[in-house]
Amino acid sequence: MIDIKVLRENPEAVKENIKKKFQDAKLPLVDEVIEFDERLRSAKQEGDDLRAEKNTVSKQIGALMQQGKKDEANEIKEKVSKISARIKELEEEEAKCEEEVRSRMLRIPNFIDDSVPIGKDDSCNVEIEKFGEPVVPEFEIPYHTEIMERFDGIDMDAAGKVAGNGFYYLMGDIARLHSAVLSYARDFMINKGFTYVIPPYMIHSAVVNGVMSFDEMDAMMYKIEGEDLYLIGTSEHSMIGKFIDTINDEENMPYTYTSYSPCFRKEKGAHGIEERGVYRIHQFEKQEMIVVCEPEEAWDWYNKLWSYTVELFRSLDVPVRTLECCSGDLADLKVKSCDVEAWSPRQKKYFEVGSCSNLGDAQARRLKIRVRDKEGNKHFANTLNNTVVAPPRMLIAFLENNLNADGSVNIPVALRPYMGGVEKLVPKH
């Protein structure tokens, strides 16, 4: 959510930013906010004036009664009564206008950084850098679920009967590999100085509205029927929510956390759910990293965060690239974002395995996350998040890039301690 002072002073800049994100349908929101904001401030000013007047004239009533001027006192009482009725009307107007302003401000996208490429959708994203040499082996690489099936490592048919499409059973060596990757990612981030956290897997609507836009919520979140609770789509949601309505002392900044959680997503929209594979699913597990910091530190952290994901994937012998997200591909709260994509030897292309985002103070404004400096002044914090690793999607890249011609899978040195020292997985079929 942007600062309403900026919208008041420079509405055309806000509209230009909306156009850069190809969301022209939201342009009327700016003028509507200005209109309701003016009504709100007018009602507040009149209400303040009337309350002052009411206090002044109310003091006259007692004096007039003591002087025996009952009629004059009654006239003032009637005047006070009318003032009170008007104040009530104005308070109702204030409440209505506040809600109208807030509901629209929540839908106006955050200002994107000047460095963000302008484009309508993800087809306009721009490659930044490649890390590692993408290799296509001479032997044919099967579809990822076929690789897993050779190890008796996945059962999607049974999961379909139990829960429907978008769910799976991982078993045996594949399940162990899945857990090993998460454990390795956890320790990798702890060694970077991050604090490990296991957060709540459900959050209240106030937190949902603070961490994401309504469109994202509608496309992603599962609501618990009859309760003010939503299943998280990523631990970023509850981790940023941890700071809701807090004032954090400057000397304690920044907060750097790496969090594990299962994630639940409706995946509503164009992408859909795969019936065959585990690339886009309703349930998965994820190691995340979040930072709550001073505004001037945000860009340094942004570059650190995505580089950590690159480093982790390279330590597991998976080539990756970074991709700059264009304006039309940025969620409304994001200032700038880049995707980390892993090489798929089977598809002969890269695919997304993580996303790093700087959200500026958008989440902090919504959730009232503030910083207090040494002089006692307060300002909004900045928030960032990034995927460390998200199996089973990461398993696709891992299995394809570490597969041998005989169907065995190499275990990189970094992961062996988490696999009981095993150097190679041997298929059962």
**DSSP label at residue 413:** G
107 in Cβ contact with 322 (< 8 Å): no
Measured CA to CA, the distance from residue 150 to residue 404 in angstroms comes to 13
Beta strands in 232-359 (DSSP E): 246-249, 255-264, 283-293, 320-324, 336-344, 349-358
241-263 pLDDT tens trace: 999 999 999 999 999 999 999 99
Measured CA to CA, the distance from residue 8 to residue 20 in angstroms comes to 20
Sequence spans of domains, the chain: 4-105, 122-425
291-310 pLDDT tens trace: 999 999 999 999 999 999 99
Out of 109-113, 150-154, 278-282, 329-333, which region has the weakest mean confidence (pLDDT)? 278-282
Is there a cis peptide before residue 28, judged by omega within 30 degrees of 0? no
22-40 pLDDT tens trace: 999 999 999 999 999 999 9
Q: 122-425, superfamily in CATH?
A: Bira Bifunctional Protein; Domain 2 (3.30.930.10)
- Cβ-based burial of 225 (10 A; exposed 0-12, middle 13-18, buried ≥19): exposed
| Site of tokens 């850069």 | 20
What pLDDT is recorded for position 318? 98
In CATH terms, 4-105 corresponds, of 3.40.1190.20, 3.40.50.1820, 1.20.120.1200, 1.10.287.40, to 1.10.287.40
What mean pLDDT do residues 157-167 have?
93
For the chain, give the percent of residues with pLDDT over 70: 98
397 in Cβ contact with 349 (< 8 Å): no
- Spell out the residues 6+ positions from residue 16 whose beta carbon is closer than 8 angstroms to its own: none
Measured CA to CA, the distance from residue 118 to residue 325 in angstroms comes to 9
Out of 109-123, 206-220, 238-252, 378-392, which region has the weakest mean confidence (pLDDT)? 206-220
198-257 pLDDT tens trace: 999 999 999 999 998 877 888 889 999 999 999 999 999 999 999 999 999 999 999 999
